[in-house]
Each structure stands twice: as C-alpha cells, then as structure tokens.
Amino acid sequence: MSHWVEKEERSNLATIRLIVVLARSLGRRAGRALLYPITLYFVIFSRGGYRVSKDFLQRAMNTQPGFRHVFQHYYAFASTLLDNVFISADQFDLFDIEICDNGWRKVIRADTSAGRGSIFLGAHLGSFYAMRLTGDKFNIPVAAMMHRAESSKIMQVLAEQAPSLKRNIIEITDPDAWIRAKSLLDEGISIAILADRSVNADSNLQIDFLGKPASFPAGPVIISSLLKVPVYTIFTLYRGKALYQVHIHRLSESIRLDRTDRLESARPYVTRYVRQLEDHCRLAPYNWFNFYDFWAAAEKPGTADHEQSAD
C-alpha cells in the first residue's frame, strides 16, 4: 500500500460531513462565511498538515510562506469541498467557469460528436469534481475512473445526497471496469483519471517534481495506451468566489508503449504530465490538495529522473 492510502488524516470524514451539513442548511454564501473558523481550527491544530503545506508552498512559490499562506491553502481546500456539495447536486448555475485550452476544446467536441471520447489525466490540484461543470457549460461530458481509496470519504458523503453521482464513476478494480470505460468512450464520453497518487509501488516512476524526486504512478498512462484514444491533462483550478478555470493540454494523440517494458516506456509520458502539473502548481499553489509529505513516498530519494520527450 502506498503512503497516501495508509495515512489517515485526522477528522477528515467528520470535516466533510460538517461542511455538507452547513451547505444543506445555510446555502453556499452563508456556508462560505463559516469556513473561516473551520479553516482556522485545522490550521492551528493540524501540525503535520501545517508543516507539509509550508513545505509545498515554499517549493511552488519560491518564497518562505507563513501562517497567512497556510491559512489560504486550507481555505481553498475547504471552499472546494463546500462547492462539491452543490456540484454533485447539479447546481451548476451557482458557478462561473473559464476554459484555457489553446483550441483543444474544438477538437475534443468534434471527437465527442463523432462518438470518440478522450482520456483526461488530472490530479489533486483544484477540484476533480468540478470537471462536471465542463460537461454542462461546454458540452464535454466526463466520467471518472478512480481507485476506491481515492474517492471513498468524499464519495461516501456526497453520494448520500446525490446517489446518481456514483453512476459517473468507474471503480478501477471492478471486474467490468474496462467494458464500462470502452463503452463510455465509444459514446463520446471522456474519462478522467487522477494521475498523481500511487496505489501500487511496483508501478511507480521516480520523477523530479518541484526540485525533488517524487513517486508517480505509471498506471494511468498504461491504461490510456490500452484504450487507444487521445490523452489530455486537465486541471480545474479554483480561482476564488464562484470561479473555476479549466486548463486542458494535449499529452498525446495516442500513447504507444513497448509491450516488453510498459513501465519504462511510460516514462516520457509521465514526465510530460509531471512537467504540466508543476506549471499549474506554480500558477495556483493554493489548489494543491495533497496534505501529506508528497516526496516521502519516493522509493529512491536522491535519484531524479531525466526528462524525456513524448510524442
């Protein structure tokens, strides 16, 4: 089991439940006001989280962060959790969304109309759930393929108020996962995969990330190669108030791997993904929602991988 699966963040589920109760009872505006004392509590009492937040912000912002920066980091996280309640209930009209895609949206929509979905590789940067806004606003329907360990706590709570949400999520370990994924892609529905956390250490690659080697899973790239569709990176960044900004970049028209060594041949694609992840971490550092020592899981610290190009 990977470092992030084993780590139980203190009171995480209770926090999510509290935010859901606030959202249901008070609405988004009043709920946002109450996020301030909730955030303050966790910044003060979550000492481990405070340290890893400072470490990440120092790397991403190239400055020495203080209490104010860590508070803003936690507040951004709490804000997206609150918004997830309304997004999961299809209350899309509460939000504004911008798309930054260098023209790829037209290509994706044309593929969608032709019954060809794409793979979107995302991260715990911004709101993964807010990608549903993309489908509503820009007619790019998206389902998610996730590992149960990534989604259990949040899904457990959100599904209580919106059971239909689970229909848009494919559990990677389910026996029919591949059949469902292929069926959705053939309907023109794209599939999003979180690609920054590793479940199986045997499929990790060590890639330099913000100046230090970190473990990244090759699995999402290998999955993409088997499904034989275009692959993009996607980061849905929270930009304050009700605004989300969707950044889409082409990773590859079609990923091709060497069958004799899929892990190593995935390296150029994973490296390109990591470089794009770095760029967006620097663009919106408070959107990084991995509140643990991301670099501690590296199996071979001190041996950074050299960057390679991917077609």
Q: Is the pLDDT of residue 159 over 70?
A: no
Burial of 55 (0-12, 13-18, 19+ CB in 10 A): middle
Q: What are phi and psi of 121, to 5 degrees?
A: -95, 115
* Structural domains present in the chain: 3-287 (3.40.1130)
Mean pLDDT over 182-199 rounds to 91
- Whether the per-residue pLDDT at 158 is higher than 80: the answer is no
The 10s digit of each residue's pLDDT in 231-257 is: 999 999 999 999 999 999 999 999 999
- What are 282-301's pLDDT values in tens digits? 999 999 999 889 998 664 44
The better pLDDT of the pair 151, 119 is held by 119
Give the residue with greater pLDDT, 303 vs 48.
48
Q: Which residue has the tokens 């790239």?
A: 221
Amino acid at 186: D
| DSSP conformation letters of 143-181 | EEEE-HHHHHHHHHHHHHH-GGGGGGEEETTSTTHHHHH
Residues 253-280 have a mean pLDDT of 96
Distances (CA, A) of 13 to 20, 155, 199, 277: 11, 10, 20, 27
Prediction pTM value = 0.88
Mean pLDDT value across the chain: 85
Residue type at position 130: A
Tens digits of residue pLDDT in 18-54:
778 888 888 999 989 989 998 999 899 888 889 999 9
pLDDT in tens, 76-123: 999 998 998 888 888 899 999 999 988 888 899 899 888 899 999 999
pLDDT of residue 172: 82
Q: What percent of the chain has pLDDT over 70?
A: 84
